[in-house]
Amino acid sequence: MSDLKGTAVVTGATGGLGALYAAGLAERGYDLLLVGRQQQTLDAVAKAVKQKANVKVDSIVANLAEAKGLARVEARISSDPAITALINSATAVTFSPLAKLGSQALDETIAVNITALTRLTHAVLPGLLARGAGAIVNFASVLAFHPWPEFSVYNASKAYVVSFSQALQGEVAGKGVLVQVVTPPAVDTNFWNQAGLPVSNLPAGAVMKPQHLVDAALKGLDRGESWVFPSLPEQTLWDDHQKTRQALVGGLMNGAPAARYAA
């Protein structure tokens, strides 16, 4: 390790938000383990990082949608005591009415956004808990809270990230491990082209620049925030949402039928 920061694993590091986030971590003194599908692109990201930061950068070529690739990354990160952070930024996206969505695209979205995120978190968590320090950063989306037709599987996968992370936050409370959720708005990346819905279809004022998103997310990491909403003007909106959710759960925890359903 180059210093006490340790090594951060960044998935989806071949471009977009992952590459920018990795560069920001390197500037903070983290060594990096970059995960992506293309060695040439990973090498380019590593070269750019090393030009600006004196850190060690390794990489693993793996398709997280495939069982063999995921297992290879799991094995690597579960056995490395130097790893202090996992950044689950890899994302797969589909934009289509569900009835017309191909099974391969559906499976890939679930595999990357849900299965890989969960399995990689499971792989690093024991080591972080044993050392009583570290961070897991999971990228969700505003669509976790705003189900958009034609994004049905993607919406649901990001809602899973929110629920999974929130439960995990309860499990690790007081144990020195940060489980953080970053919830971006629409961001001007290749995500939209991959989905088949160019970003030009969205209102310009609703779209954030990638570097602005990453700068905000990293500032949230610096502060140790459990929830990072880079575009949310008032944090109280989230606090109010949590209170309403808890009130709803309290109302649902009732063994008697509601009056409107009673015989």
CATH number, span 7-233: 3.40.50.720
What is residue 205's predicted lDDT score, i.e. its pLDDT? Answer: 77
DSSP states along 217-234: HHHHHHHT-SEE-TT-S-
Domain definitions of the chain by residue range: 7-233
Q: What end-to-end distance do the CA atoms of the chain give, in Å? A: 68
Tens place of pLDDT per residue across the chain (263 aa): 334 699 999 999 997 899 999 999 999 999 999 999 999 999 999 999 999 999 999 999 999 999 999 999 999 999 899 999 999 999 998 888 899 989 999 999 999 999 999 999 999 999 999 999 999 999 999 999 998 888 899 999 999 999 999 999 999 999 999 999 999 988 877 766 666 666 777 777 778 899 999 999 999 999 999 999 999 999 999 999 999 999 999 999 999 999 999 87
CB 135 within 8 A of CB 178: yes
d(CA 189, CA 17): 8
Tokens of 168: 């995990």
What is residue 196's predicted lDDT score, i.e. its pLDDT? Answer: 66
Respond yes or no: is residue 30 known to be catalytic: no
List 21, 30, 154, 160, catalytic entry = 154
